[in-house]
Amino acid sequence: MKTITLAIIGVSLFFLGCSDSDGLSENQTIDTKMKLGKALYEDTSLSKNRTMSCATCHHEESAFVDERESDIFHMAAKSADDNFIGDRNVPTASYASFTPDFGTVEEDGEILFVGGQFLDGRSKNLKEQAKLPFLNPIEMQMESIEEVIHRVRENDDYIEALKTLYSENIFDDYNKTFDAIADAIATFEKSDIFSPFDSKFDRHLAGTYILTAQEKRGMDLFEDEKRANCIACHPVLKEDDTAGLFTDFTYDNIGVPINKELRLLNGKGENFIDFGLFDNPDVNDSNLKGAFRVSTLRNIDETGPYMHNGIFKDLKTVVHFYNTRDVEGAINPETGEAWGKPEVNTTVNSEELGDLGLTDQEEDDIVAFMKTLTDKRYEK
């Protein structure tokens, strides 16, 4: 697989080499960057013990989440050496290129944080994000930027491609080299491979798929501001009325219970608090403690378990949580116990969710609608 990918870069460089070298068209450059990015994204030799790549945790075959067998039910990811367990659920890298750069917007006189990569927006954009997993001690575990670049330099195709695409002197300054590596990976992540927009929902908009009666009921509930009101945070369409990303990219604390099981496994203990957005160095408003970025719901049926801490295994449980979080005596069907306490209690959103009054059938209908957001290649 790897040799094939590299051969492709080789071929296209050969192709570029034959053309007038100053005359790289913009499309050729993007195409070659994408191929380089794909090879880097899939290259396990860029991790400490040469076993892990970006694709390990964000694999195309598994809707760009962790493809590995998981003895911790995929609640979080394990490090390359298998010794460490993370604390956040792996989000899909599909459609991540549509997340705007981290920043603020003003809405009804209120300043809201939006966008950014990671569930707390701590990376401004895809390029900045792509640098971090290499050096993360609970992910790819490389010691330094230098070490990553030494591994990249083991491969002549990479050297040639980076020089051709970025500059002949690209290896003179390792920060620039690292930037170029991240840029190539981000270019690959912006390709249609990650975001085909061909789910049943997209085909419904294009008029080539007719929603079943149940899917239609689920969509109507999802959009009904007086009932489920999911669109308050997960908009179905973009502002220009084309197919949306099912997130408004803002941040909210919806009161997700502490995942005690995960905290036992990763050794953080029950008292550890993930403050989400508040841990982002650009944020210091304590009202934002416990807020996480609204997730895209594209490919949601493929990317469980759910929420930033992987607490819910089933989509139906998620809907039941929104429906009954604040209802006296409500039970989490996965534990048989009451919904647990959230990590940060003081900032929980209690206006738009928690007691929706949906019937069991209506919960099922919403689940059926969310299953129409699966890209075609994953349809069963």
Q: Is 352 in the site for ligand HEC (CB under 6 A)?
A: yes
The residue among 33 and 88 lying less far from ligand HEC, judged by its C-beta, is 88
Tell me how far apart the alpha carbons of residues 347 and 216 are, in angstroms, rounded to a whole number. Answer: 34
Of 27-66, binders to ligand HEC (CB under 6 A) are 52, 54, 56-58
Do the Cβ atoms of 119 and 308 come closer than 8 Å? yes
Dihedral sign of CA atoms 321, 121, 183, 174 in order: negative
Q: Is 366 in the site for ligand HEC (CB under 6 A)?
A: yes
Query: How many residues are given for the chain?
Result: 380
The residue among 16 and 158 lying less far from ligand HEC, judged by its C-beta, is 158
Of 64-83, binders to ligand HEC (CB under 6 A) are 77
User: What dihedral do alpha carbons 280, 92, 196, 374 form, nearest 10°?
Assistant: -130
CA angle, residues 87, 378, 100, in degrees to nearest 5: 55
User: What dihedral do alpha carbons 185, 372, 88, 39 form, nearest 10°?
Assistant: -20
Q: Is 245 in the site for ligand HEC (CB under 6 A)?
A: no
Of 177, 229, 280, 372, the residue at the interface with ligand HEC (CB under 6 A) is 229
Q: Is 114 in the site for ligand HEC (CB under 6 A)?
A: no
Query: Which among 3-11, 14-22, 151-159, 223-231 is the span making contact with ligand HEC, rule CB under 6 A?
Result: 223-231
Do the Cβ atoms of 158 and 170 come closer than 8 Å? no
The residue among 16 and 148 lying less far from ligand HEC, judged by its C-beta, is 148
Query: Which among 3-11, 144-152, 160-168, 299-307 is the span making contact with ligand HEC, rule CB under 6 A?
Result: 299-307
Do the Cβ atoms of 321 and 349 come closer than 8 Å? no
| Number of other residues whose CB lies within 10 A of the CB of residue 214 | 16
Q: Is 306 in the site for ligand HEC (CB under 6 A)?
A: yes
Q: Is 353 in the site for ligand HEC (CB under 6 A)?
A: yes
Nearest alpha-carbon partner for 255 in 352, 184, 173, 179: 352
What does the binding site for ligand HEC look like in residue numbers (CB under 6 A)?
52, 54, 56-58, 77, 86, 88, 90-91, 93, 96, 117-119, 126, 129-130, 133-134, 139-140, 185, 228-230, 232-234, 252, 254, 256, 292, 294-295, 297, 300, 303, 306-308, 315, 318-319, 322, 349, 352-353, 366
